[in-house]
Chains A and B, each alone.
Chain A
Amino acid sequence: MLFGRKKRKPISIPAKKVKEWKYTTCNYCSTGCSIEIGLDENKKLVTSRGHAGADVNRGKLCIKGLLEHELFESPGRGTTPLIRNKHYDKFEKTSWDHALDTTAEQIKKIQNKYGRDAFAIISTGQLLTEEFYTLGKLARGCIGTNNYDGNTTLCMASAVSGYKRSFGSDGPPGCYDDFEHTHCFMAFGSNLPEQHPIIYWRLKEALEKRKFPLIVVDPRVTMLAQFADIHLPITPGTDCVLINAMMHVIINEGLQDKAYIDAHTQGFEEVKALVQDYDPKSAQHVCGIDEDKIRTVARLYAKAPAAMSIWTMGINQSTHGSDGVANINNLNLITGNIGKPGGTSLSITGQCNAMGTREWSSCSGLPGYRYLENPDDRQEIADFWGIDPEFFPKKRGLAETDIFPAIETGEIKGLWIVATNPMTSMPDTSRIRKALEKLDFLVVQDVYEDVEMNQYSHVYFPAAVWAEKQGCHTNTERRVNLIDNALEPYKESKPDFWIFNQMAKRFENGQKIHFPEKPEEAFNEMKKLSVGTNAYGNERTLDISGMSYEKIMKARGIQWPYREAAEGEEETLKGDPRLYTDGKFQTKSGKANLLPIKFFNNNEQPCKDYPFWLNSGRVVEHFHTRTRTGKIGNCNKFSPTPYMEMNPDAAIELGIEHQSYVRLTSRRGDAVVMVQLTQRVPRNMVFIPFHFHDCVNRLTLGLLDPHSRQPAFKQGSVRIDKVDQKEAAQLNVERRAF
Chain B
Amino acid sequence: MNNVTITKEVDKKIETKGAVDLSVGSFDPATMSVATPEQEGRSNHWEVRTQEQDYAFLPTHEDRSEIKEKNRYGQLIDCVDLSGLPKERSMFINENPEVGTNPNRNKQHGFFFTADNCIGCHACEAACSEKNENPAHLAFRSVGYVEGGSYPDYKRMNISMACNHCDDPVCLKGCPTKAYTKHAEYGAVLQDPETCFGCGYCTWVCPYNAPQLDPVKGRVSKCNMCVDRLEVGLKPACVSACVGNALDFGVIENTPENREQCKTSIPGFPDPEITHPNIRFQQTKTLPDEMNRTDSMPVKYHKDKEGNYKPVIDQKAGKAKHWNLGKLNSRENPLVLFTLFAQAAFGTFLIPFLGALFGVEALTSFVHSDMFLPLTVISLVMTAFALLMSVTHLGKPMRFYRGFNNLRYSPMAREGFGLALLSAGCGITALFSLPMNTWVNEVSIELFSLNLVELSAGLPLSNLQLGAGIFTILAGSGGIYYMNKCYQIKARPFWHHIQTATSFLGNSLSLGAVVSGSIVVTTLILSKASSALIEQAIILFSSVFTFGLLLEAIGLIKHNKDLNKSDNEGGAAHYIQCTTFGKTYLLRNSLLGLNVLLASSLLLSTLLGFNDINTLLILWSALAVLNAITAIIGRALFYILVIPTTMPGAFFWKNKGFEQHARDIGLADNPATGVAPLAH
The interface of chain A, by Cβ under 8 A from chain B, is 1-5, 8-15, 18, 20-23, 36, 47-53, 58-63, 66-67, 157, 160-161, 164-165, 193-194, 197-198, 200-201, 204-205, 208, 221, 223, 225-226, 231, 233, 364, 371, 373-376, 380, 383-386, 395-396, 482, 484, 512, 514, 516, 518, 520-521, 524-525, 528-529, 531-533, 535-537, 548-550, 553-554, 588, 620-621, 630-641, 643, 647, 649, 658-659, 676, 678-683, 707-708, 729-730, 732-733, 736, 738
Contact = CB atoms under 8 A, between A and B. Distances in A.
Contacts of B94: 11-13, 15
Contact of A371 (B4, B119, B179): B4
B667 to A, nearest CB: 6
A707 B1 contact: yes
A528 B14 contact: yes
B14 A380 contact: yes
Contact of A2 (B56, B82, B193, B651): B82
A364 B664 CA distance: 50
B125 A63 contact: yes
B172 interface: yes
5 contacts: A5-B181, A384-B17, A514-B21, A659-B658, A736-B667
Given A13-B227, A733-B667, A521 B91 contact: no
A302 to B, nearest CB: 25
Contact of A633 (B83, B136, B154, B193): B136
Contacts of A518: 24, 26
A161 to B, nearest CB: 5
Contact of A535 (B10, B49, B85, B122): B10
Given A66-B130, A201-B244, A521-B22, A2 B83 contact: yes
A518 B18 CA distance: 19
Contacts of A630: 672
Interface residues of B, number: 121
Contacts of B173: 3
B156 A633 contact: no
Contacts of A681: 151
A9 B156 CA distance: 41
Given A536-B9, A729-B661, A22 B30 contact: yes
B30 A659 contact: no
A639 to B, nearest CB: 6
A18 B47 CA distance: 9
B50 A51 contact: yes
Interface string B257-272: 0100000000000000
A461 to B, nearest CB: 25
Given A18-B47, A223-B119, A3 B24 contact: no
A15 B224 CA distance: 13
Interface stretch (B182-190, B197-205, B395-403, B562-570): B182-190
B154 A376 contact: no
B674 A640 contact: yes
A637 B53 contact: no
Given A9-B181, A161-B1, A640-B662, 13 more contacts: A12-B192, A50-B49, A52-B49, A62-B243, A193-B243, A193-B244, A197-B121, A198-B243, A233-B152, A531-B14, A636-B136, A679-B147, A679-B151
Given A2-B184, A634-B136, A647 B151 contact: yes
A1 B121 contact: no
Contacts of A18: 47
A164 B4 contact: yes
A11 B51 contact: no
User: Which secondary structure dominates chain B's binding surface?
Assistant: loop
Nearest to B152: A233
B117 A535 contact: no
A363 to B, nearest CB: 11
Residue of B26, B91, B122, B665 with most chain A CB atoms under a 10 A cut-off: B122
Interface string B1-43: 1111111111111111111111010110110100000000000
Given A59-B52, A520-B27, A736-B667, A14 B652 contact: no
A165 B14 CA distance: 26
A14 B132 contact: yes
B3 A193 contact: no
Interface in B474-518: none
B182 A3 contact: yes
Residue of B125, B172, B655 with most chain A CB atoms under a 10 A cut-off: B125
Interface in B565-588: none
A550 B32 contact: yes
B600 interface: no
A386 B21 CA distance: 12
B161 to A, nearest CB: 15
A500 to B, nearest CB: 16
B93 interface: yes
B150 interface: yes
B277 interface: no
Contact of B93 (A11, A21, A553, A647): A11
Residue of B3, B24, B148, B664 with most chain A CB atoms under a 10 A cut-off: B24
B11 to A, nearest CB: 5
Nearest to B124: A63
A58 B224 contact: no
B674 A633 contact: yes
Nearest to A641: B667
A15 B16 CA distance: 53
B331 interface: no
B255 to A, nearest CB: 15
A637 B674 contact: yes
Nearest to B143: A638
B674 A1 contact: no
B227 A52 contact: no
B16 A632 contact: no
Contact of B14 (A384, A682, A736): A384
A65 to B, nearest CB: 9
Contacts of A61: 123, 127, 241
Contacts of B51: 51-53
A223 B653 CA distance: 18
Contacts of B666: 733
A13 B93 contact: yes
B151 A639 contact: no
Nearest to A647: B151
Nearest to A368: B14
Nearest to A676: B651
A594 to B, nearest CB: 15
Nearest to A519: B24
B120 interface: yes
Contacts of B1: 157, 160-161, 164, 364, 396, 707-708
B194 A636 contact: no
A600 B664 CA distance: 49
Residue of A20, A201, A225, A554 with most chain B CB atoms under a 10 A cut-off: A201
Contacts of A733: 665-667
Contacts of A48: 130
Contact of B243 (A60, A371, A535): A60
B130 A47 contact: yes
A12 B673 CA distance: 27
A631 B95 CA distance: 35
A380 B639 CA distance: 78
A-B residue pairs, 4 tightest by C-beta? A637-B674, A633-B136, A53-B51, A386-B18
Contact of A53 (B6, B50, B147, B183): B50
Contacts of B87: none
B135 interface: yes
Contact of A679 (B8, B150, B662): B150
Contacts of A225: 152
Contact of A52 (B19, B53, B228): B53
A384 B16 contact: yes
A638 B652 contact: yes
Residue of A193, A512, A630, A640 with most chain B CB atoms under a 10 A cut-off: A640
Given A2-B83, A364-B1, A633-B136, A548 B27 contact: yes
A535 B7 contact: yes
B672 A384 contact: no
Contacts of B228: 13, 15
